[in-house]
Every structure is written in C-alpha cells, then in structure tokens.
Structure 1
C-alpha cells in the first residue's frame, strides 16, 4: 500500500450499469477462474487503499450475503435517472467528504476489469492536481479508470444536475486531464480488458487459464 493513510485515495468500484448484454444482473458477480470478477477488482483496490466503496443502484441487500464484500459501503446514485458513471463518482466524493475528509482523491474502477495493472494507483498518483486517467496499450482512454480530486464534487454535481452532462471524459477534460498510458500485462493481456458479454467472459476465462497459477 502506497503512502500514508492521508495520501491514499478512497476507491469506488463502479457497478451501476444494467449489464444488458450479459442478460441482466450484476456482471461483476460472474466468475472467472472460480472468482467473481468484482472480487478480483476489489482485491486489487485493497492493495492501494484501506477504504473501498461500491457504487450500485437498486436493492443493496443483494450484496449482503457476500463475506468478501463485508465492510464495503454500497452507494446508490444521488442524482436521479441513472446518469451513468459520473453519478457513482459523485456519490463516492460525497461519501468521502462526509466520512473521511482527510482524503483528497477518489480512485474510480469499473467492476468488470479483472486484469488491472498492479502499478495503476502509483502511476496515476504522481500526475499532479488534475484528473489522471488511464490509457490502454491500444491508445484508448479508460474514462472510468481515473483519479479524481474530491474538490471537484460541486462542479460535478452542477454538471450532472444542471447541464445533463453524462460523458466522463468530457468532464475530466475540463479539469486538467492527464493521460497515463499502461503497457500490456504479462502474457500480452490488455490490463483494461473488460467483460461486457458472454463471449468476453469466456475469453477472460481462457486468459486466466493460460496465465496459470
């Protein structure tokens, strides 16, 4: 774990989507290698911080029986209409401001990316005062893999509620966006491979199998 507790981010795992291409439900609870995808992301996040939140709408009790999620607060969007990941990031900012005011940043992570690089947080953390966003080895931005100053929460609330802004990258671009590029993981795996369909789930299972123990 990097830095003192005051320097650690508050991590938020974004699981607020419909997962329609997966047939509905929580795609982060689908398993690869016998482990839920969300748990893989959670375990990685716990290597960077001592406080992880889960952004998820609808009934939070669906997570209540999962021992590995014990102690992880489940946050619903505070903005109506399911406006997307920015609402989950805002909910995490509000939670942190109320409960851990010594923390300065939110680290957002999607719930469907099981191969996140171990060096993600340290690489984003050295990028200064703006928004630091990951870029994959293919050159594509990863808008929900980013480090956000909590001081942006009032601007974010206005953007969501008054402007109807929904694009994560568009909001980040207003606030000193810095892009941080990451290489392929060992075995040639895209560290930001995300699971959006049954085919993606099967491919991830193959990648886990080929990677070995």
Structure 2
C-alpha cells in the first residue's frame, strides 16, 4: 500500500477510518481507536487513541485488551471491535452480536458462510465481555497470539452474516482492493 496507515487511505474520497467510524457510531455508545505510535495522526477524527498495553506488538488480541482497559474505566461491560480496513461491515453487527451474548456467550464473533469450510470466522469483529480482560492479559503474557486460540477457550459464539451481494468483511490490503472497494461503493451506494 506504499507505507503509512492503511486506515487513512481513501476509498471514493473518504478515508477507510472515516467510513468505519461512521458505520460504527450508530452501533456503540463511544468509540476509541487502537493504534501504536504517534496518536496525533488521528487528531482529525476527534476520538481517543489507545495504544497496546502489552509490549512487543503481539497482534489483535493486544488491541482487544487495550479496548477492554479503556472501556473498563467507563464502567462498560463489553466492547465491540472492528477492523479499520473493513469499511462495509454489517450495520447490524453490534445488535446481532449482543443477541448471542445475551443468550449466554461471553464472546461473540462474526462469521460468513464458506462453501469449503462451513463458516469463516472474522475474529477482529467481535463483542467481548470485559470480565475476561485479566484472563486475556495473562494469555498474552503467556504467549497466546492467535485470536481463535483464546476465544475457543471461552466458547465464543459465531454469528453468521450473509456474504452476498458482497462480503461485508472484505478488507482493503492492496491498491487493487481499493479499486474493488470503490466499485462496491458505486454499485451499492455506500
């Protein structure tokens, strides 16, 4: 992608992060950005930026933990996480994941049908109970890095979302993906 923050790349005249924040803002009470390095690069968004609290950049679970720590200071019970390079996630993501947690799951993760594997998990799109944050901290310190390795220990529920007319969890990783995202915007009025 030529370096820099992928979330600040534009699709049809708007940054990926602006598209994600707009979609997320109708589903949550408050939003924070998990990012390491200079938080000033996100100033225009007017959102708090929380860095990983675990050293060594151990991956997405460290971002989940940073979000849990931030939300716990506001007495929240759960956090909803999404990826900043995935601008078309479902506008009912939060509601559907809440339904799974209300049915008894401590964690709910998004999934889409996959003809070869059954369900394809999208583990960065999840609703997480903050009650598990110390368990997550210990897992990270103990070397767990894969989201699924930790969520499977806690019987995470999978919530299926349709993958048509396009995969709502399509993430932008290359210039070709930007072109594809721009086609989705044009074709679906997003």
1:206 aligns with 2:172: no
1:67-78 equivalences in 2 (<5 Å)? 69-70=45-46, 72-78=47-53
1:152-202 per-position Cα deviation (integer Å, ceiling 9, x unaligned): 1000000001x21110111111112110110135xx111111011111111
Task: Write out aligned runs for 1:47-86 (5 A).
Answer: 47-64=26-43, 66=44, 69-70=45-46, 72-86=47-61
Structure 2 equivalent of residue 154 of structure 1: 134
Paired with 2:58 and 2:183, the residues of 1 have a C-alpha distance of 34
Aligned length: 183
Unaligned runs of 5+ in 1: 1-21
Is contact 1:129-1:149 (8 Å) kept?
Answer: no
Cα RMSD (Å) of the superposition?
Answer: 1.2
CA deviation map 1:78-109 (0-9, x unaligned):
111110111111011111112x11x2101110
For residue 136 of structure 1, give the secondary structure of its aligned residue in structure 2: strand
Q: Please list every run of 5 or more consecutive structure 2 residues that lacks an aligned counterpart in the other structure.
A: none
Task: Give deviations 1:110-142, integer Å, cap 9, x for gaps.
Answer: 001111111111110011232100002333100
The answer as to whether partners of 1:108 and 1:144 remain within 8 angstroms in 2 is yes
Partner Cα distance (2:24, 2:178) in 1:
21
Within the candidate set 136, 145, 148, 1:169 is matched to 148
Answer whether contact 1:137 1:190 (CA < 8 A) is retained: no
1: CA distance between counterparts of 2:24 and 2:89? 9
- TM-score (ref. length: structure 1): 0.82
Structure 2 counterparts to residues 97-176 of structure 1, below 5 A: 97-98=72-73, 100-101=74-75, 103-127=76-100, 128-138=104-114, 139-161=119-141, 163-176=142-155
Q: Could you list the runs of 4 or more consecutive aligned residues of structure 1 that deviate by over 3 angstroms after TM superposition?
A: none
Task: Give, in whole Å, the separation in 2 of the partners of 1:117 and 1:155.
Answer: 29
Deviation at 1:212, TM superposition (A): 3.4
TM-score, with structure 2 as normaliser: 0.92
- SS of the residue corresponding to residue 87 of structure 1 reads helix
Q: Secondary structure at the match of 2:85?
A: coil
Kindly state the Cα deviation for residue 23 of structure 1 after the two structures are TM-superposed.
2.2
Q: Is the partner of 1:144 in helix, strand or coil?
A: strand
Q: Cα offset for 1:76? A: 0.7
User: Take 2:42 and 2:79, find their aligned partners in 1: how far apart are those partners?
Assistant: 22
2:96 and 2:67 map into 1 onto residues whose CA distance is: 21
Q: Secondary structure at the match of 1:172?
A: helix
